[in-house]
Structure 1
Amino acid sequence: MVADGQRPFDVFAEQLGSAELFMQESKFLIHGNGKDQPPTGFMFEKEQMHGLYFNQSPSKDVALAMVSMRPIPLGPIMEKMPLSAEKYGTGRRFYIQTLDDHALSPDIQEKLVRENPPEGVFKIKGSDHCPFFSKPQSLHKILVEIAQIP
């Protein structure tokens, strides 16, 4: 849901602060090319991931997800996205809002929708950042509904 020329990180800037501040103060940075080189990624601690991503998900699903989690590469989220109407603008876009999301608050999600309106917005009550775990039936229903829109 980023706009042309926006960095994916900018979506989280209200919650995390500026990219520069995040890079200076974050204790979660990974220096894959050595400590003397710029950071290449970041990874939250397990407890933080649980609170941010899986606050409504069943514990067995969270346990499975935790063993699959990998560091998030910084490059793709720190670079401005060049998006054109000819390419990005031709794809149909829908937004599924997760109302109990702690990683991307409902207010931030509403802002994303206002600033870059999709064709439709669907909401899932009781869902965290990962509705495929926390509300799989609701997510399935919405995806089927989207697939049937002419």
Structure 2
Amino acid sequence: MRVNFHRKLVFPGIVQTTRRPDIVMSSQHSKLVIVIELTVPWEEGCEEAHERKKTKFDELMAKCRQRGRTVWLFPVEVGCRGFRAQSLWRMLQTLGITGRTRSAVIRRLAEAAEKACAGYDTDEISRYGSQRGQSVVWPPLLAHQPEDVVV
């Protein structure tokens, strides 16, 4: 698994692209590519953010499919006041993260989103729908990969 900290992630050598998803997990054996794109919008903008991120990676996902890969794209939203969008629950369920582990991940993501947005002017966030291009560095959610997630 590779994570896009400081924008240095290179997409796996399946296709050439300038797109840099937040998290990419891939398996040569199963030819599976899992792409996770996290967004922290104002709560009212979760649906729009989901569609925007999905559209942003549609072409990349199609190219991967053309190369014989199975592709899972998860645009995930956690509102800047801690709102947990259904996309987050669905992603974790699909990846096999359930029970207490899922609850802990969701709680920590919501807390991190609230904490990250606390330093921003809420009028500016609601006016522009984001932190105007400023990146938020997320703490690692899990110290280890859960045993029930197969990648």
Higher strand content, 1 or 2: 2
More RCO (CA 8 Å, sep 6+): 1
TM-score range, shorter chain: under 0.3
| TM-score, structure 1 as length reference | 0.28
